[in-house]
Amino acid sequence: MVSLTANSFLRLITDANERQQAALHLHKFALDYFNPTGLRTAAFSFDGNSVTSHWVDQSDLRFHENEACLLEPGSWEKHATYLKFAYGSMANAQVANVAIGRICRAVRQGPSTEGIIDLAIALECLVEARAEIRFQFALFNALISQESLAERHDAFDLLQSLYDLRSVGVHGGRYDSKANKKMSEIRKNWDRILLIARKNVTYYLLFCRDNKHSGWSKHLRELSFGGTRLTLEGIHD
């Protein structure tokens, strides 16, 4: 069991149900980050001042003490450390709450039309593009999450396919042969795209921890010109 002091991010949410939903999404996001294939999920209690997380076994929906859980070495500590980092960044991260909520919904929905829309919205929040949206959506999200040029090329194509399917779903379009091929590609790479989304939200949180959200778009442009990128060492590990 780990207790975390709730910061100004949660205190700014005046509705109790919305506050609890935000905390739940953040806990689920952190848990999926380090244990994406596990059967356990995170439950929490929030008393207005602190958030307490617990482990829950989905097979019997019972609470278990930390020591009783079969976890990868260090995974609980990673979960708690990530939450401390995230709660310390959320107040300055204007779109993180929406992005994290949409990613959690996408995990539940899976690679369906609804899940694709949710995941695309989460990634679109990080771009803030008003022109050439499809291009910037794929470019910046590939740039943030991938290190090598080859990985960025591959992620760029994958993210454009995701955006195309998002557009089909939002506008009620029909799935032709090209769309069906892209759907097959997205389903095959679903876990990879979820990881890209989690990495990109984490990078955004890291930026906003020490900077204002208003500087985020400028930072993305600087990255595209080979500017200095932030290091996530110690957060992803």
Q: pLDDT tens for residues 179-193?
A: 889 899 999 999 999
53: phi then psi, degrees, rounded to nearest 5: -105, 150
Share of the chain above pLDDT 90, in %: 36
Task: Give the lowest-confidence range in 7-21, 97-111, 217-231.
Answer: 7-21
Backbone angle region of 87, left / alpha / beta, with phi > 0 → left and psi within -120 to 50 → alpha: alpha
Share above pLDDT 70 across residues of the chain, in percent, rounded to a whole number: 73
Quick: pLDDT tens for 42-62: 555 666 666 666 666 555 555
47-56, 70-79, 171-180, 195-204: which is most confident: 195-204
119-137, pLDDT tens digit by residue?
999 999 999 877 788 899 8
CB 211 within 8 A of CB 188: no
The pLDDT of residue 20 is: 74
Q: How many residues does the chain have?
A: 237
- Position 130 scores a pLDDT of 74
For residue 13, pLDDT over 60 is answered with yes
Least confident of 51-55, 89-93, 217-221, 222-226: 51-55
- pLDDT at residue 65 tops 60: no
Angle value at C-alpha 207, between 163 and 223, nearest 5 degrees: 60
Q: In Å, how far are 4, 6, 24, 62, 85 from 47, measured between CA atoms?
A: 11, 9, 13, 21, 20
pLDDT (average), residues 152-163 = 93
Rounded CA-CA distance 106/119 in Å is: 6
**What is the per-residue pLDDT for 56?**
60
Q: What is the CA radius of gyration of the chain?
A: 18
Per-residue pLDDT, 73: 57
How far is the CA of 172 from the CAs of 23, 124, 165, 185, in angstroms?
33, 19, 10, 20
